[in-house]
Amino acid sequence: MGLFSTVDRKSRPFSRASHEYAVGEPIYHAGAEGLAWRVSQGVVRLDTCSADGNRQFASLAIAGDILGCETLLFGSYTFAASALTRCTLSPWPEGEPPASGDSLLLSFTQAQRRAAELIALRGGQALDRVLGLARLLADRAGCVVLPSRQDIADITDLRFETISRIVKQLERSGLLLPTRIDGVHATRSFRLATIAAVDAGLAH
């Protein structure tokens, strides 16, 4: 599923420098040892790994979210992490021991809100789920690099064929404008139109 760079990854999770991961690249496995991280850019997918090796989507971490902080308590990761888009992680907590528990508390409340958003992405009509995910991943300008159709399907609990149909439908309706972004797959980079812009387009 993933692209592997030729760099030796094994030494990576123990360095204090920030790291970059390519699309689809595994970041760590469940049960492995390593640091906790903060997502600086991009989107990370977390999976629960059952005994028989099956992976099931568990959570999403986007810029600002904390990743794998359970290692600070248990010494190993609970979930498996992989890069849904190109992303960079930096070790957490930053610098010396945090002045207070407030930093942790802030991350906690942030994670709670993120979890509620993910719950919402698995409810309602298929179109709303995909649109919801696109909005969640869009930057302030509305630019989005979507994960693969299969990854979107795993997140929203739909099939990749359904995702494909709906992304195309959003394109045709003008809500998703195909926008070539740097070296990203043409089928995955978009700009989100505002509802107002779409209505104006239809009125024309």
Residues contributing to the site for DNA (CB under 7 A): 1, 24, 125-127, 148-150, 157-162, 164-165, 167-168, 183, 185-188
For residue 177 the two structure tokens come to 């404008």
Indicate which single residue of 64, 123, 178, 201 sits in contact with a copy of itself (rule: CB under 8 A). 123
Chosen from a copy of itself, DNA, none, partner binding at 118 (C-beta under 5 to 8 Å by type): a copy of itself
For residue 93, cis peptide bond before it (omega within 30 degrees of 0):
yes
90: partner contacted, choices DNA, a copy of itself, none (Cβ within 5-8 A by kind):
none
| Residue 2 binds to a copy of itself (criterion: CB under 8 A) | no
In order, the DSSP letters of 160-197 are: HHHHHHHHHHHHHHTSEEE---TTS-TTTEEEEPPHHH
By the rule CB under 8 A, 56 interacts with a copy of itself: yes
Q: Which is nearer to a copy of itself, 1 or 115 (CB)?
A: 115
Give the single-character DSSP code of 31. T
Comparison of 103 and 164: residue with beta carbon closer to DNA: 164
Q: Cα(178)–Cα(180) distance, rounded to whole angstroms? A: 7
